[in-house]
Amino acid sequence: MEFIKNFEEQIELTQKYGKDKAYLIYAIGLYLDFPDLEQLASEGLTDGNDDKKIDFIRLEDRHLVIAQSYFSDKGIYKAKANKAADLNTAIAWIFSGDIDKIRDSSDEFLISLKDIIVDIRKAIENEEIDDISILYVHNLAESQNVRDELDTVKKHLEKFIDTNIVSVKAIELGIENLEKLYTIKQAAIAVTDKIILNQEIIFEEHGPNWSAGIVSVSGKWLKDLFSNYGDSLFSANYRNFLGISKRGRKKINYGIKTTAEKEPENFWAFNNGITILTNSYYKNNDNQTILEGISIINGAQTTGSIGHSTIPEKKDIKVLARIIKADSLETIDKIIEFNNTQNEITTWDKFSKAPEQKRIYEEFNSMGYSYSFKRGFDNINEDLSIEVVAQPTLALHGDYLNAGSGKNKIFENQRLYEDVFKNSKSKHLLLAFCLVKAIDNKRQELKEKSINNNITTDETKQLSLLKSLRFKYFVLSVIGKTLETIIGEEVDIKNVAFKNGIAGARYNSINDLIIKLKPIIDLLLPAISTKTNENFGEIMSDNQMINKIYDDVKLVTVMLKQINNQIFEEFSSLISPKG
Cβ contacts of 466 within 8 Å, gap of 6 or more: 112, 439, 442, 443, 446, 472, 475
Give the 3-state DSSP-derived string for 298-344, with helices as H, strands as E and coil as C: ECHHHHHHHHCCCCCCCCCCEEEEEEEEECCHHHHHHHHHHHHHCCC
Per-residue pLDDT of the chain in tens (579 residues, 90 and over written 9)? 788 999 999 998 999 889 999 999 999 999 988 888 988 888 888 865 555 688 999 988 888 999 999 998 876 677 888 888 889 888 988 888 777 765 433 333 333 567 778 888 888 888 888 889 999 999 999 999 999 999 999 999 998 888 878 889 899 999 998 988 887 676 667 788 899 999 889 899 998 888 999 999 999 999 999 999 887 888 766 556 666 555 555 667 778 888 889 899 999 999 989 999 998 999 888 889 999 989 888 888 899 899 888 887 778 999 999 999 987 667 777 777 677 644 443 455 567 668 899 899 999 999 999 998 877 777 788 899 998 999 999 999 999 999 988 888 888 888 999 999 999 999 999 999 999 999 999 998 998 888 888 999 999 899 888 877 789 999 999 999 999 999 999 999 999 999 999 999 999 999 999 999 999 999 999 999 999 887 787 888 899 999 999 999 999 999 999 999 999 999 999 999 998
Residue 230, pLDDT score? 84
Q: How many CB atoms lie within 10 A of CB 512?
A: 13
Q: Is the pTM of this model over 0.85?
A: no
Q: How many CB atoms lie within 10 A of CB 495?
A: 15
Rounded distance between C-alpha atoms, residue 376 and residue 463, angstroms:
29
Q: Which residues pair with 321 in a beta bridge?
A: 215, 274
Please report the domains of the chain, with CATH numbers, ordered by start residue: 2-183 (3.40.91), 187-345 (no CATH), 351-576 (no CATH)
**What's the first-to-final CA gap in the chain, in angstroms?**
46
Q: Supply the DSSP symbol for 50.
A: T
Residue 225, pLDDT score? 93
Q: Supply the DSSP symbol for 424.
A: -
Q: Supply the DSSP symbol for 295.
A: E
Read off the pLDDT of residues 45-80 as tens digits, 9 standing for 90 and up: 886 555 568 899 998 888 899 999 999 887 667 788
Q: How would DSSP label each residue in 236-248?
A: TSSS------SSG
Q: How many CB atoms lie within 10 A of CB 100?
A: 8
Burial of 206 by CB count in 10 Å (0-12 exposed, 13-18 middle, 19+ buried)?
Answer: exposed
Read off the pLDDT of residues 247-275 as tens digits, 9 standing for 90 and up: 555 667 778 888 889 899 999 999 989 99
- Strand 63-70 relative to strand 210-218, pairing: unpaired
Rounded distance between C-alpha atoms, residue 261 and residue 251, angstroms:
16
CB–CB of 574/516 below 8 Å? yes
Rounded distance between C-alpha atoms, residue 509 and residue 368, angstroms:
9
Q: How many CB atoms lie within 10 A of CB 454?
A: 9
> What phi, psi does 456 have (nearest 5°)?
-80, 170
Burial of 536 by CB count in 10 Å (0-12 exposed, 13-18 middle, 19+ buried)?
Answer: buried
Q: How many CB atoms lie within 10 A of CB 11?
A: 9
Read off the pLDDT of residues 105-152 as tens digits, 9 standing for 90 and up: 333 333 356 777 888 888 888 888 888 999 999 999 999 999 999 999
> What's the number of CA atoms in the CB half-sphere (13 Å) around residue 496?
26
Rounded distance between C-alpha atoms, residue 261 and residue 220, angstroms:
12
Of 120, 117, 102, 4, nearest to 50 (Cα)? 102
Residue 112, pLDDT score? 56
Give the 3-state DSSP-derived string for 447-497, with helices as H, strands as E and coil as C: HHHHHCCCCCHHHHHHHHHHCCHHHHHHHHHHHHHHHHHHHCCCCCCCCCE
Rounded distance between C-alpha atoms, residue 462 and residue 420, angstroms:
28
CA distances from 292 to 145, 173, 231, 295 (A): 34, 27, 18, 10
